[in-house]
Chains A and B, each alone.
Chain A
Amino acid sequence: MSYKKIKRMTAVMRINHWVVALSMIVAVVTGLYIGHPYYQSFIADPAVDKYVMAWNRLAHFLVAIIFDVSSVVVAYLYFFSRFEKPYKKLLPTGKNMAEFVAVLVNLLTLNRVKQFDSSHADSFNAVFFFVFHMLLAWMLFTGLQLYVHGLGSGLSSIGAWWPAILHLTTDWTVGVSGGTYMDVRISHHYSMYAIIAWAIFHVYYQIWRTIFWKEGDINIVVGGNKFVEEK
């Protein structure tokens, strides 16, 4: 049996992947603190030199910005990737739907049936990641809406355009999530769990593929390659 090496991710794409993963962990850890401070700061310390909540919020917003940038990169890759452009796999064409079903069947039959080309990203993958990117976008919009509430004066250290643009781009989330600012917050919190559940399945599925497909899938995000049996 001989195997062919296939390039799947460039270095930039891999760095992006791990930056997103790390950001997510930080966002969850700090976000849960913001929602319900789950550890106490040292009460004996005077308040002048500790800003535990403020630091958590800072970290939360910093990873939010990193998320922001990486999402723009990913959005770009959807259309202009050197590899298969993901949007082509997302379109509900007959071919894509058949591939989606084939991959799902593979998963549900515990790898007894495998009738698709696993060397490149498939439609199931494309849809699965699209869901993630939509969840992330929702986190961004709801998060920025929560953030702009603190800029009631309509001013900010970088100018009045910033809160204005935030209102313009995120006010719709209030109506969509249920009509009040609290609904935005509830939705931001629920969506976090959806993202965590997504991530758990994502990690499992990659390991599962690596073990059962025997094509070294896990290396896509490490070395950038996977291997496919040459027929």
Chain B
Amino acid sequence: MIEKREALAKMFSAKGSKINTNRGAEYYDSLMQTMTKRLAELEQTPAASKASIESVLEAEGLTRRDFMKWASAACAALMLPSNFTPLIAQAAVLMNRVPVIWIELQDCAGNSEAILRSDAPTIDELILETISLEFNETLMAAAGHAAEAHLEEAMHTFKGKYLCVVEGAIPLAMNGLYGTMGAKAETYKDHLIRVAKDSAAVVAVGTCATFGGVPAASPNPTGAVGVQDVVKGKAIINIPACPANPANITGTILHFVLTGQVPELDHLNRPKFAFGYRIHDNCERRAHFDAGEFVEEWGDKGAQNNFCLYKMGCKGPMTFNNCSIVRYNSGTNWPIGAGHGCIGCSEPQFWDKYAQERPMSDTHFKAPTGGVEKTVDQFGLGLITAAGIGIGIHAVASLVAAKKEGDE
């Protein structure tokens, strides 16, 4: 019976459906060997950046103990058994061996800001500081020709080794002229393709880079699209959200450092360790959802009692992300914790389809007939009314006609 069931399960294990958190001792032993070997090799290579995690931690007044606590949490987040913790710690130390070229396209730099601007940075954020950031327009001092020369040099030196991190959408309308870069006015599209070409992998950070995000919102005047619509034939990892959670960026880069490979991805190329579950599945307000207890108005009794935000437009039931577990700013809080519903920022087309402060059925979408925006319910009731009027006319006409016939 059990065998049969397992055979059936195997047969139907569609990609994208299953997160296997226990793959058996054999798998983990061999994974451990691969990782150990990879880290030993990395250790031999010269540090590409002078920053080391020790010095950064010290500057922030964090101890080795804090660091190890972080390492065990990161280990769990990556869904690895706890005996991988020392490897994670070692990988974090070796983060400065991995060259990263971070390019900035059509966006608000919000992902960079999320990582850099907190006054009490988390260890996730600090680790991102130690990566060898070879190029980043937002951060570096160089500008103009000097910056371009710097990019050329980094791409040449680390050919095939660097991670290409992309922030921002790519405008394609008007031959891409909505966004150009440098003295030669290279379009964002050409820039991205050029930098991505010699990279080891491409990491699209934030929803603009993954799915076009806010720039791609209707009517999308610049023809904005995500990285995966432009770059072909490369490993692409999508880390959406607005902004992407630094924990998920670090997790993905850590995974790359540890294995030299991209983590397991879902059908939208999002790492499963972060985007495997819905917000709704781990939400602290879920009991109130099931009980039918909803916030009806901002600041009402329900809001004071932390009721579910579904009727205020929470899109947690349709949104895959780990905010409800990882939260933001050292786990301080997250949108739903602070009293606002989820706006689905890690899903494709979130601005048009998710980010409204009302349930889907009350939201103004383009009606299927085009033209004026209507709520789904308005359109539906219109349809039923039309059917009712048609029937009414037909009924009366039938009766009148029958009566006439009867009279004759």
Q: Measuring CB to CB, which residues of chain A are less than 8 angstroms from any residue of chain B?
A: 32, 35-37, 40-41, 43, 47, 50-54, 56, 107, 110-112, 148-150, 152-155, 159-161, 163-165, 167-168, 171, 179-183, 185-186, 189-190, 192-194, 196-197, 200-201, 204, 208, 211-212
Contacts and interface: CB of A to CB of B under 8 A. Distances in A.
Nearest to B12: A164
Interface stretch (B23-31, B190-198, B253-261, B392-400): B392-400
Given A149-B318, A160-B9, A160-B18, A182 B402 contact: no
Listed residue (A149, A155, A164, A204) with the most chain B CB atoms within 10 angstroms of its CB: A164
Contact of A36 (B276, B311, B349, B353): B311
A208 B395 contact: yes
Given A110-B397, A182-B354, A47 B391 contact: no
B360 A35 contact: yes
Contacts of A164: 9, 12-14, 17-18
Contact of A54 (B290, B310, B360, B402): B290
Interface in B259-303: 267, 276-278, 280-281, 287-294, 296, 301-302
Listed residue (A183, A193, A194) with the most chain B CB atoms within 10 angstroms of its CB: A193
Contacts of B301: 43
B14 A167 contact: yes
A37 B302 CA distance: 14
Interface in B147-168: none
B interface, size bucket: 35 or more
A115 to B, nearest CB: 17
Interface in B357-400: 359-362, 365, 368, 376-377, 379-381, 383-384, 386-388, 391, 394-395, 397-398
B360 A53 contact: no
A152 to B, nearest CB: 4
B18 A52 contact: no
Contacts of A110: 394, 397-398, 401-402
B223 interface: no
| Binding site secondary structure of chain B | helix
B386 to A, nearest CB: 8
Contact of B360 (A155, A171, A189): A189
A35 B395 contact: no
B395 A197 contact: no
Contacts of A150: 278, 280-281
A107 B386 CA distance: 18
Contacts of A32: 361
B310 A37 contact: yes
Contacts, number: 161
A41 B353 contact: no
Given A50-B292, A196-B380, A196-B384, 18 more contacts: A41-B292, A43-B293, A51-B290, A152-B277, A152-B320, A154-B17, A160-B13, A161-B9, A163-B17, A164-B17, A180-B349, A181-B318, A185-B360, A189-B380, A194-B383, A197-B383, A208-B395, A211-B398
Given A43-B293, A150-B281, A183 B398 contact: no
A159 B5 contact: yes
A200 B391 contact: yes
Given A161-B9, A164-B13, A180-B349, A47 B277 contact: no
A54 B20 CA distance: 28
A153 B277 contact: yes
A4 B209 CA distance: 72
Contacts of A149: 278, 317-318
A212 B402 contact: yes
8 closest residue pairs by CB, A with B: A52-B292, A154-B18, A193-B380, A164-B12, A41-B292, A182-B353, A47-B291, A152-B277
B124 interface: no
A109 B171 CA distance: 57
Given A53-B290, A167-B17, A182 B278 contact: no
Contacts of B280: 150
Contact of A37 (B311, B379, B398): B311
B226 interface: no
A37 B295 CA distance: 11
B408 to A, nearest CB: 12
Contacts of A154: 13, 17-20
A54 B398 CA distance: 46
B182 interface: no
A24 to B, nearest CB: 14
Given A112-B401, A185-B318, A152 B19 contact: yes
A220 B377 CA distance: 34
A201 B391 contact: yes
B383 A193 contact: yes
A161 B278 contact: no
Nearest to B280: A150
Contacts of B281: 150, 152
Contacts of A183: 353
11 contacts: A35-B361, A43-B293, A53-B292, A155-B18, A161-B5, A161-B12, A163-B18, A182-B344, A182-B347, A194-B383, A208-B398
A163 B18 CA distance: 9
B345 to A, nearest CB: 13
